[in-house]
Amino acid sequence: MSAKTYVPQGGQPAPLQIGATLEALWSVIAARHRDGDERSYTYRLLTGRIDGVLKKVMEEAGEVALAAKDAEASAAAVRAHEGASSMSDAAKAALADASDAACDHLRYEAADVVYHLLVVLERFGIDLDEFAAELNSRMTESERPRGAALIVPDHVKRGK
């Protein structure tokens, strides 16, 4: 696996950032929706034909799948050559660099999927708390965060 490529502020381990990051991104997406600036890519996704944003979600999801396959292949190559005395240290370092690059690409594509998914949710008025409640509803009571919101049972739908 790749070494971590982010640096916590102050260089110290920090609490998870994903909640604050998703909230900030959600706020930006919602603001772009309200602003109505047709020059904004986000606004055009929110108000244009639904096929446009759905195509982006599908495209980005496919890119995540391909990037994950590349990352797996790179990691397998590194594992296969660990401890190999017939390979130079430079060649091993090159494999490790390729593996790190593959993980970087996976992270990049995953962020694209999340962004476009949040745009779809905003387009249909599903806010982050409602989305979180859906995720929380899929966990057992012992797995859920304490005090977590849940979907009202009448709205729990599993497929069509």
* 26-84 tens-digit pLDDT: 999 999 999 999 999 999 999 999 999 999 999 999 999 999 999 999 999 988 888 77
Phi first, then psi: give them for residue 48, nearest 5 degrees: -80, -170
> Is 102 a domain residue?
yes
Domain count, the chain: 1
Q: Which residues contact 123 (CB under 8 A, 6 or more apart)?
A: 33, 45, 46, 50, 53
> Is 90 a domain residue?
yes
Q: What is the pLDDT of residue 144?
A: 92
What region, left, alpha or beta, does residue 36 occupy, with left being phi > 0 and alpha being psi -120 to 50 degrees? Answer: left
Q: What is the pLDDT of residue 1?
A: 46
Average pLDDT taken over every residue of the chain: 89
> Is 89 a domain residue?
yes
> Is 10 a domain residue?
no
Selected residue with higher pLDDT from 54 and 1: 54
> Is 126 a domain residue?
yes
Q: What is the pLDDT of residue 37?
A: 95
Alpha-carbon distance 42 to 115, whole Å?
Answer: 10
What is the pTM (predicted TM-score) of this model? 0.85
> Is 69 a domain residue?
yes
> Is 1 a domain residue?
no
Domain that holds residue 102: 50-142+148-152
> Is 38 a domain residue?
no
Q: What is the pLDDT of residue 7?
A: 61
Selected residue with higher pLDDT from 4 and 71: 71
Alpha-carbon distance 84 to 74, whole Å?
Answer: 16
Q: Which residues contact 57 (CB under 8 A, 6 or more apart)?
A: 113, 116, 117, 120
Q: What is the pLDDT of residue 151?
A: 86
Q: Which residues contact 73 (CB under 8 A, 6 or more apart)?
A: 102
